[in-house]
Amino acid sequence: MNPRVGSGAWAKTHFDPELEVKILGLTAEEEEKMVRAAKSTPRDVVGIWMDDRPYVGTTVTIYRENNKLYLESKYKDGSGSTEEMTESQSTVGSKLVEKGGNSHGEYFVLDKKGNLQAGGNNGIFLKYKKLK
């Protein structure tokens, strides 16, 4: 993970009375394990990305199965979710929305270079780190 000034805390410390250090983001080992697991899938993968913001640590895999498009999120704690997506084309690439819509107006944009971004009613709010 590349820390960016102003992007939030990756860890915190305090004395109580001894020094206590708490890692909030992914450790290098956790990130490596998540990336390895995401890349080892036998699916017809469109791409794999990571949300490497502090507190998050999520891999996102977009894949095709039985002529349908899915977005799978896997979290640091091992839990996850899979959503069937609908795809429409735009000038920048593909716009992906959960099948049936999203009550918050959120969507994903997969650009022609394979970069993934999340957007909503106010535009793009997150860019994912491309893994594959």
Tally of residues, the chain:
132
103 contacts 96 by C-beta, under 8 angstroms: no
Using the predicted structure, report yes or no on whether residue 24 has a pLDDT greater than 50. yes
Q: Chain-centre distance of CA 111, in angstroms?
A: 15
E strands along the chain, which residues?
A: 11-15, 19-23, 44-51, 58-65, 68-75, 80-89, 93-98, 107-111, 116-120, 123-127, 129-130
Query: Alpha-carbon distance 30 to 26, whole Å?
Result: 6
- pLDDT digits 0-9 by tens, 76-86: 888 899 999 99
**56-112 pLDDT per residue, tens:** 778 899 999 999 999 999 888 888 999 999 999 988 899 999 998 888 889 999 999
Give all domains of the chain, ordered by start, each with its CATH number.
Answer: 15-130 (2.40.128)
pTM assigned to the model: 0.75
